[in-house]
Structures are given as structure tokens and as C-alpha cells.
Amino acid sequence: MDTFDYVIIGAGSAGCVLTNRLSEDASTRICVLEAGPRDWHPYIHLPAGFIKTFHMRSVNWAYQQEVGPWTGGRSIYAPRGKTLGGSSSINGHIYNRGQRQDFDTWAQLGNRGWGYCDVLPYFKRLERRIGEGDDTYRGREGNLTVTTMDWKDPLCEAFMAGAMSLGIPRNTDYNGAIQEGVSYAQRTIKNGLRVSAATAFLHPARQRGNVDVRTHAHATEIMFEGKRAVGVRYRRGGKNGTLHEVRAAKEVILSGGTYNSPQLLQLSGVGAPELLQSHGIAVRHALAGVGEGLQDHYAPRSVARVKNIKTINERRQGIRLIGEALKWATTRRGLLSLSPTMVYCFWHSGETTESSDLQLTFTPASYKEGVQGALEDLPGMTVTSWQQRPESRGYVRIRSSDPFTQPIIQTNYLTAELDRRVIVAGMKLARRLLKSEPLSPYYDHEDFPGPDVRTDEEFLAAATKRGTTTFHPGCTCRMGPADAPWAVVDDQLRVHGLEGLRVIDASIMPRMISANLNASTMMIADKASDLIRGKRALEAAAGI
Ligand SMILES: Cc1cc2nc3c(=O)[nH]c(=O)nc-3n(C[C@H](O)[C@H](O)[C@H](O)COP(=O)(O)OP(=O)(O)OC[C@H]3O[C@@H](n4cnc5c(N)ncnc54)[C@H](O)[C@@H]3O)c2cc1C
């Protein structure tokens, strides 16, 4: 059996950063197990390929959530990357870190070293920011290129003018001192190509010669000796593929993401005893918090029909699409270099006393049934609105002892009363934005939720009918002190009560942050790489 210092399960956003940092020491040997294939498919690298990989089962786990109490009887689709780069290879490329208070809250929950001033140096170390930004907050020398949307669209400009007409200021850098305001989105795109965690971190690390990346390698169980994790069992070639084992002399690192990390812990006998026993799994280590606490951003998409101007909907059809393909091939610019959202807006619902608690995005396009994946034929524009720090929590639990069966995903969207109030406030603001004076030359009529929707109850009913995930699940292996009943890992990301095992990915977030999760997941991994190596933490930011 092969033995490495570290075995990393999952080459996603976190796994790729970890691999890069841990392999800096030439004497360290690392094995990375990735269930999906290499990231060779062109749709991964072409920004507009997002719309294709969204449903492409060869690189996507394509999970389906359970019907929730407030999802109008619908099971909401939950895409997840299954290839090198993980979800960063199929995501919407947006770079958004979150607010100071997100991380200060993590620290207040008992996690030393995770306050904003502690984590800011790691965000900076990862990043190669090209464009505006104060170097107090932005990094210029890291592997992860971050650019600003360079497509200047009249509808986007009118939307931003509309926001300003409502008192929302223009903010040139929402990843700087203050998040609130409106601006073009910042993206992990370089020269018209996606910058995934694999292209930025994993592929350069593979050049070092001490990294063994195994694709199509689906981890089915963590192996233990007593309370110590010593290796991983995996199958190559699917459910009926060959069984292999690999040993870790130092640590097993679980970076399978918010749905799969708790699933693999549970399959390996780590979790709530009743759940494990109900599936005939022997309890290796009772840990009630595994899989519990799932949070996500739930978003209705408000749509208006557009007149007097072309939107992306018509520009991506027929002969025009061929023209766009040629443009991208020769210049790396044009429609195919765009992200699914183009303008970002952060503002207050008025329902909480917190700093901005609403995130809204604008796209001069609209999608069938309000779900990203297929553009509509008629000209349309969309404002997606969501509550940044929801209170509702759900869970991820194994459905069976078969590692190839998707786990039960119940996010319990909108079950907290506050979440329902904020989501309604977000939809009302979306309507005001779409109806603002600067957008009036282009605004034809509201398609969703529609002019008949006027009361809070009607807005809420519309939200439950058409809201979807924004693909930001987290918090299923939460970081917290040993005496917190919900905690799965400590503030060094070691699983409580076990040895040689850490969880490092979006699942360790103790509370949802006010951002898309890719940037902070990579930050978590970068900081964890110093914890693993026993290195002194980067000096906390001062005077900010
Ligand atoms: C469609 C979509 C759009 C998104 N848009 C954005 C965006 O624009 N901006 C943003 O910041 N965030 C976005 N996100 C979210 C962001 O990409 C994720 O939060 C982030 O990538 C999570 O990183 P992770 O390391 O926790 O998990 P992942 O990146 O999902 O990595 C987990 C990896 O583990 C592998 N794996 C899982 N189980 C096993 C197993 N048993 N054996 C072996 N390998 C396994 C998976 O195949 C995967 O490669 C989006 C996500 C999606 C799906």
C-alpha cells in the first residue's frame, strides 16, 4: 500500500490551495484523491461555459435537495463541481470576500485566530488583484488573479445609476474597507479564461514532483486505528470499480465540500450514533454536529422584460453566437468571456440593525423558470436578491451506507421568521431598482414576481415559488470549541476527539458569511496550511 505524509480527499477550492502550500516543502509527499476527472473540458475554462457545466454530470455531482417547508413543494437543484478545481471549476467566477463582521463573529464563537484582522493577510497572500483597490486590503502577488468585469453595458450602467438614485453609493471595491454600495463584479478571470483553484494552485504544485493526484478516485471510507485516522479507502472507476487503499503517515485531510465531507465522516462511523446505527454503520466516534447546521443563500430572481436595447438573451442566439465564438477565439473578449452576474449591490433591508444584509446582483439577461442554466428567448434583465446572513439551518445526512448514493440535503430555507422578512425586503428593493428612473428607457414590464404581487404575503409566496440556491452551502462541519454541542472541528480544524484528521473546506464555517464562498474557502485552506505545518500565523492586520 502507498504511504504519503498527507492524503487530501477532494481537489476542490480548499484541496488545491492546501496541495500547493503543503508541497512547498520538497520532502513532503502528498496524495490527492479526486472523485471526478481532470479539468480538461473546454467548457470549464470558457467563462460562458458555466451555463453548460451547470448540468454536465461528467464534472458535476448534480445533487437534488429535499423539498423544504418553504420551497413551494419544489426540490431545488444543487450543482457541485466534480473535477480538478471542484466547484471553482464550474462556479460563476465571482470574487467576494465578505464583511469584517463575518469573521469577527467566527472568532466570537470561540475560534481563536479567525477574526477579520487575522484572516485578511491570508486573503491578500492568495490574491493577484489587477485593478482598483487599496493595498491595505488587496494582494498583488498571489496566484489567484482577480479582475473587474470589463464589459461596459448600457443596461448595467443604467442599473448602477438607478441604485445611486435610490441612495446606494457607487463603491469601487467591495472587497476593500466597506462592502456596501454598487459596482461591477470582480471575477477570477484572466485573459478571458477561468482562474479555478486548480489552474491557480494545483497545476503549478504538480510541477514540483512531490504531489500524486489521482482522478476518478472516489473516497469511500476513512481508515482508523483506534481514534487515529491512518488512511483512505477509495474506488477507481465508479461503484463497481477497483478498491484501493492509501496511507497517511501524518494526516488525512478531508476537503470534499459541504455536502460530501460530512457524508464521508458519517460513512466512516463519525457522527450522530442514531443516524449511523440506523444505516448499520458501527460508531467509531460519536460527534453529534457532523452534517448539522447547513446554511445557504436562498434567492428569488426578479425579472423585467426589456425594450429599446438588446440583452444577452438575443445576442447568444443563432448567427450572433457564431460571431461571439469567433470574437472570443481571437480576442478572448465578448459575450463568451462574461460571468453569469455582472453588477453587485450590497444594501440594507431595514429589518436588522446589522451592516448591509442584502446582496443583489444584476444581469442584462433572464433565464427560463428563473434558474440559471437556459436563457430565455425574449429580452430580459434579472435582479437576484438574497439575505446575506440567514438564520435558518438544515442538515446533510447519509441516505444509506452506500458511498455512491447522494446524501439527504435539507437546507430548511426560510424557516427562520427573520429570513422571510429580509427576503421580502430584498424583493421589494429589486422592484424599486428595476423601476428606477435611469432604467425607464429600457424597462417594459415586470415579468416576475409580476405587478399583481403587492403585499408582503404575496412577495413571500412568490419567493417560495421561484427562489433557488445561489450555490453557497456551508456550515456542516462547524468550527467551534469542544464544549459546543454543534462543533465538529476545533480552531486548528482538527476533528474533535480524533487524531490525524482535519476537515478543511466550506463546511467548517461556523456561520454563513455575507459573500459567495469561493474566496473565503481558499482563505480557510491557506490559513490551515500554516496550522498544519506548525508555522507562525501571518501577522494580523493592524490599524484598520
Ligand atoms: C454553480 C456554482 C456557482 C458558484 N458561483 C460562485 C461564485 O461565482 N463565486 C464564489 O465565490 N462562489 C461560487 N460558488 C461556490 C464556491 O465555488 C464553493 O463554495 C467553493 O468552491 C467550495 O469549495 P470546497 O473546497 O468547499 O468544495 P469543492 O470546491 O466543491 O471541492 C470538493 C471536491 O471534493 C471532491 N470530492 C467530494 N467527495 C469526494 C470523495 N468522496 N472522494 C474524492 N473526491 C471527493 C469533489 O469532486 C470536489 O472536487 C459556486 C458554486 C457552484 C456549484
Task: Tell me the longest C-alpha to C-alpha distance in the chain.
Answer: 69
DSSP sequence for 16-34? HHHHHHHTTSTT--EEEE-
Q: How far apart are CA 134 and CA 136, in angstroms?
A: 5
Q: What is the dihedral of CA 299, 302, 306, 310, to 10 degrees?
A: 0
Residue closest by Cα to atom 38 of ligand 1: 256
State residue 323's pLDDT score.
83
State residue 522's pLDDT score.
98
Residue closest by Cα to atom 39 of ligand 1: 256
Considering the chain, what percentage of its residues have pLDDT values greater than 70? 99
Strand 343-347 versus strand 181-184 pairing type: antiparallel
State residue 150's pLDDT score.
85
Of the pLDDT bands very low, low, confident and very high (cuts 50, 70, 90), residue 340 is: confident
Residue closest by Cα to atom 18 of ligand 1: 518
Pocket test of ligand 1: the residue of 518, 526, 529 to mutate, having most ligand atoms within 8 Å of its CB, is: 518
Report whether 192 contacts 199 (CB < 8 A).
no
Q: Is 342 in the pocket of ligand 1 (CB under 6 A)?
A: no
Nearest-atom index, ligand 1, CA of 79: 53
State residue 333's pLDDT score.
87
Instruction: Pull the grid cell for residue 212.
Output: 500524486
Report the alpha-carbon angle 420-424-426, nearest 5: 115
Ranges of beta strands (E only) in 460-512 are 468-469, 501-503
Q: How many CB atoms lie within 10 A of CB 512?
A: 26
Nearest-atom index, ligand 1, CA of 82: 47
Q: Residue 214 belongs to what H/E stretch?
A: strand 211-214
Q: How far apart are CA 469 and CA 482, in angstroms?
A: 31
Report the alpha-carbon angle 14-18-22, nearest 5: 175
Task: State pLDDT tens for residues 394-444.
Answer: 999 999 999 999 999 999 999 999 999 999 999 999 999 999 999 999 999
Ligand 1 centre and the CA of 80: distance in Å? 5
Task: State pLDDT tens for residues 228-259.
Answer: 999 999 999 899 999 999 999 999 999 999 99
State residue 329's pLDDT score.
85
Q: How far apart are CA 5 and CA 418, in angstroms?
A: 46
Ligand 1 centre and the CA of 16: distance in Å? 11
Pocket test of ligand 1: the residue of 16, 91, 254 to mutate, having most ligand atoms within 8 Å of its CB, is: 91
Strand 181-184 versus strand 144-148 pairing type: unpaired
Q: By C-alpha distance, which of 194, 175, 17, 181 is closest to 96?
A: 175
Q: Indicate if the pLDDT at residue 373 is higher than 80.
A: no
Q: Which residues does the annotation mark as catalytic?
A: 472
Burial 54-63 (b: 16+ CB within 10 A, else e): bebeebbbbb
DSSP sequence for 240-262? TSEEEEEEEEEEEEE--HHHHHH
Q: Indicate if the pLDDT at residue 371 is higher than 70.
A: no
How buried is residue 140: exposed, middle or buried, by Cβ count under 10 Å (0-12/13-18/19+)? exposed
Task: State pLDDT tens for residues 263-290.
Answer: 999 999 999 999 999 999 999 999 999 9
Q: Indicate if the pLDDT at residue 353 is higher than 80.
A: no
Q: Indicate if the pLDDT at residue 326 is higher than 90.
A: no
Helix 456-466 with 417-434: angle, nearest 10 deg = 90
Task: State pLDDT tens for residues 452-480.
Answer: 999 999 999 999 999 999 999 999 999 99
Whether cis (ω within 30° of 0) applies to the bond prior to 449 is yes
Burial 245-275 (b: 16+ CB within 10 A, else e): ebebeebbbbbbbbbbbbbbbbbbbbbbeeb
Q: Is 504 in the pocket of ligand 1 (CB under 6 A)?
A: no
Considering the chain, what percentage of its residues have pLDDT values greater than 90? 89
Q: Is 528 in the pocket of ligand 1 (CB under 6 A)?
A: no
DSSP structural state of residue 413: T
In one letter, which amino acid is 244? H
Q: Is 266 in the pocket of ligand 1 (CB under 6 A)?
A: no
Q: By C-alpha distance, which of 33, 138, 145, 161 is closest to 88?
A: 145
Instruction: Pull the grid cell for residue 6.
Output: 498527507
State residue 69's pLDDT score.
97
Q: By C-alpha distance, which of 126, 29, 102 is closest to 530?
A: 126
State residue 355's pLDDT score.
79
Q: By C-alpha distance, which of 395, 301, 297, 337 is closest to 96?
A: 297
Tally of residues, the chain: 544
Nearest-atom index, ligand 1, CA of 33: 43
State residue 320's pLDDT score.
80
Q: How far apart are CA 278 and CA 275, in angstroms?
A: 5
Ligand 1 centre and the CA of 159: distance in Å? 30
Helix 100-108 with 116-126: angle, nearest 10 deg = 130
Q: How far apart are CA 535 and CA 514, in angstroms?
A: 29
Q: How many CB atoms lie within 10 A of CB 322?
A: 9
State residue 260's pLDDT score.
98
